[in-house]
Amino acid sequence: MDQAGIIRDLLNWLEGHLDQPLSLDNVAAKAGYSKWHLQRMFKDVTGHAIGAYIRARRLSKSAVALRLTARPILDIALQYRFDSQQTFTRAFKKQFSLTPALYRRAPDWSSFGMRPPLRLGEFVMPKHEFITLPETRLVGTTQSYACSLEQISEFRHQMRKQFWQEFLSHAPKIPPLLYGLNETRPSLEKDDEQEVFYTTALPPELANGYIQGAKPVVLEGGDYVMFTYEGLGTGVQEFILTVYGTCMPMLNLNRRKGQDIERYYPVNEARTEQGPIDLRMEYLVPIRR
């Protein structure tokens, strides 16, 4: 395997082990090289020092935990292998220009300081544009669930699938336009979890005959960045993680308070229980420009 392939595999492995001990000796043993050779190879391929990259990714993961959970700062610091809250605070402030406490309380979520995972040139930014939406009236149903950050990918995919199946259970076919509105807050019951409020909705003119017990829903107006996804419904959650983990930091955007908006345009009319739906989806994140 060439050097780029070796480092690509190592990067994937590192991403799943950022909360584990990652001394140079441990990482080198995983890669099968001496630590001196691995450091040189990593720097040659990525342009980054491996130790600095690991620390930047750990701090970026801790920033997400600060914003999406109510876990004590010390717990987050220890999870990402900092030996004290003081050490963590110094490193965090150096990368984000804010202490962890101020970062957690800030009204907007700035992308400044976030270190996206390295992708070795294979990443292509999804199509995106900046838009201003008017306030829009919809009809829909809101449900909620709680999960940890570690559960986020698979758990959210399953919940999204379940909510849409319930929402469209009486529909003769899938409507040509669907809205999913979601908002995340730290759980009031468990400090290591987040509570997600998810609203499945339709424009009023499409709702007749589709929904039972739906209520009026307001889609908030304002400035958004809109990313476009095309593919199977099973790929939506991974796309959203890419939007937040890579695209928002690369574009240096500030997320303001508000709901994320999923705007679906199903490609076929297959019923949800028949398998994955092929669709086009616009994902809108509220931003402050």
Residues 253 and 150 placed together within one structural domain of the fold: yes
Residues, the chain = 289
**Is residue 100 in some structural domain?**
yes
Q: What is the pLDDT of residues 188-242, one digit of tens each?
A: 888 888 888 999 999 988 877 666 667 899 999 999 999 999 988 888 888 998 8
What H or E segment, with its residue span, contains residue 283?
strand 278-286
Indicate which CATH number applies to the domain containing 36: 1.10.10.60
Q: Domain range holding 7?
A: 3-106
Q: Mean pLDDT in runs of 10 for the chain (289 residues)?
A: 86 92 87 90 94 96 92 95 96 98 95 92 87 95 86 78 83 86 88 89 80 82 97 86 91 95 77 63 95
In a domain, 69, yes or no: yes
pLDDT given at position 270:
47
pLDDT of residue 161: 84
Written in H, E and C, the secondary structure of 206-234 is HHCCCCCCCEEEEECCEEEEEEEEEEEHH
- Provide the CATH number for the domain around residue 243: 3.20.80.10
136 and 247 share one domain: yes
Specify whether 18 is located in the same domain as 84: yes
37 within a domain of the structure (yes/no): yes
pLDDT number for residue 289: 84
Alpha-carbon distance values, 6 to 13, 49, 55 (Å): 11, 16, 20
In a domain, 121, yes or no: no
255 and 220: one domain?
Answer: yes
Nearest to 41 by CA among 18, 73, 9: 9
Q: How many structural domains compose the chain?
A: 2
Q: CA 285, 287, 289: angle at the middle one, nearest 5?
A: 145
One domain, residues 244 and 157: yes
Residue 111 lies inside a defined structural domain of this protein: no
Is the domain of 96 the same as that of 9? Answer: yes
Q: Among candidates 253, 259, 260, 261, which has minimal Cα distance to 287?
A: 253
Is 114 part of a structural domain of the chain?
A: no
Question: Is residue 119 assigned to a domain?
Answer: no
Do 138 and 62 share a structural domain? no
**Per the domain annotation, does 38 fall within a domain?**
yes
